[in-house]
Amino acid sequence: MSHLFDSHGAVGSGWSQPEPLLPESRISLPANLIRRKMPQWPRISESEVVRHFTWLSTRNFGIDTGFYPLGSCTMKHNPRVNETIADISGIAEIHPMQPEHHIQGLLAIFSEMQKMLSICAGMDEVTLQPVAGAQGEFAAIRCIQEYHRARGDEIRDKVIVPDSAHGTNPASAVMAGYQIIEVPSGPGGFLDLEVLRSVVGDDTAAMMITNPNTLGIFEPEIAEASEIVHAAGGQMYYDGANFNAILGKTNPGLMGFDAVHYNLHKTFAQPHGGGGPGSGPIGVKSHLAEFLPGPIVKRRPLVDGDITEASDEWWFSWYEPKNSIGKVHQWHGNAGAVIRSWAYYRRYGRTLKQMSEHAVLNSNYLRHRIHQLASEAGIGSMIVDGSSAKFVKHEFTLSLSPLKEATGISALDIAKGLLDYGYMAPTIYFPLVVPECMMVEPTETESKETLDKFAENFVKVLQESPEVLHAAPITTPVGRVDEVHAARNLTLRHPME
């Protein structure tokens, strides 16, 4: 791939610097800070720089270039009005150290966001500090840990996680020092309460679970699961990555959860991918609130006194919970992401549940359409559902095991084949409980036409020959790469001579 450092214009070209204001003799820099040789900046003109980056941008695939059905990642359209609002100078140019009386507008937005998120999840207190779902998981698990410790309950050293969980759940718990108890899913992919009963005990610190689970199906016995864990003295943690399915319909508080994280970059239309930027606020029930990472925004009375929501004469102020686990990010979290997501939620207001309704409708429609077209093409038996549920929520899983057994074509091959049809591939090989898994999440922002076209092309890819699919992709800037090698041997620096 060509890059800027390959450009070798005339020596000294491609940059300019103003003449120093002081004569060189009067600039006394310590000798060890003075460059011995010129940096190897690319020697290239401005028009070539613009061309280079424009070219580079066309080699990326994103939600703005095509359908992106990446299950569990909720790649939805990011309304441009959110960008405009985040870019208002009174917001974008705020310095994190500005005093509270300069930034009452920003604090009002944060306060409203905290309130909205706590209502959506049925929680009592929210912090906007963590900047990823996984970081939110870790922070919330640490709050749970401190809660047990504060009660002298030191022997709880186990966290229960279903085998369909996202890998970040056990990873976050292990980072906090817990051992993982993995519980196998029961028939149909649901949580098995008998198995759960057999593993909870005096050593249970928490259970981490997402609902709908990673098979895209709602756990019907989640309230009983919460009761079982609570009866043993454990806490319930809700992985909010799948909020797109339930927002405004039900909430984790009603299901018996004590702590949740939200992925603003998924559910609340924050641009993401490629590792960021994200925002993973957490919400907790009141008994965990004193441990949250701060700062949190509170309404305070203008005159000194107790914090009260009732007073007419109030202002917004930062607040640190008294037994906080400490900060998990600098300053106030990812403020830009919070603003965009606030703008998104403000556009929906009380109709926010339509978002989930349409996400679930799209997912069920696409699942049905794929099966219908596959049957018509005589290959219906090559793909089976990851769950036996009649209806799914916002995403669904397919097992391509029959196709692999019959033809040698794997889920990876189909994913690569879809790239040649101009699509981002669905998530593959997750959740681990579905063999040769493909996880498809269309989101609410795709039209019926887009879904129909995708279903049609998906079935066409299923019918391609093994030779074609083993060689795919052939139309993308980069062909099939050794992904394990790429992930384990990252080259992050350009080799300068």
Ligand X SMILES: Cc1ncc(COP(=O)(O)O)c(C=O)c1O
Where does this chain bind ligand X (CB under 6 A)?
A: 72-73, 132-134, 166, 168, 210, 214, 239, 241, 263, 278, 280
Residue 270 Cβ, how far from ligand X at the closest point, in Å?
10
Pick 103 or 141: Cβ nearer ligand X: 141
| Those residues with Cβ within 8 angstroms of residue 304's Cβ, 6 or more apart along the chain or in another chain | none
| Those residues with Cβ within 8 angstroms of residue 121's Cβ, 6 or more apart along the chain or in another chain | 238, 240, 251, 252, 253, 257, 260, 262, 283
Pick 277 or 301: Cβ nearer ligand X: 277
Q: Which tokens in the block code for residue 454?
A: 């995708």
Pick 111 or 168: Cβ nearer ligand X: 168
| Those residues with Cβ within 8 angstroms of residue 73's Cβ, 6 or more apart along the chain or in another chain | 266, 272, 273, 427, 441
Residue 15 Cβ, how far from ligand X at the closest point, in Å?
38
Residue 494 Cβ, how far from ligand X at the closest point, in Å?
28
Pick 14 or 280: Cβ nearer ligand X: 280
Q: Which residue has the tokens 């005096």?
A: 202
DSSP H or E segment with residue 168:
helix 168-175
Pick 72 or 111: Cβ nearer ligand X: 72
Count Cβ neighbours within 10 Å for each residue of 348-359 and write b for 16 or more, e otherwise: eeeebeebbebb
Residue 343 Cβ, how far from ligand X at the closest point, in Å?
20
Burial of 20 (0-12, 13-18, 19+ CB in 10 A): exposed
Residue 11 Cβ, how far from ligand X at the closest point, in Å?
45
Residue 344 Cβ, how far from ligand X at the closest point, in Å?
16
Pick 122 or 216: Cβ nearer ligand X: 216
Pick 241 or 255: Cβ nearer ligand X: 241
| Those residues with Cβ within 8 angstroms of residue 19's Cβ, 6 or more apart along the chain or in another chain | none
Indicate the residue whose CB is closest to ligand X: 133
Q: Which residue has the tokens 């292990």?
A: 174
Residue 169 Cβ, how far from ligand X at the closest point, in Å?
7
Q: Which tokens in the block code for residue 330?
A: 């600098």
DSSP 388-419: --SS-SS-EEEE-HHHHHHH---HHHHHHHHH
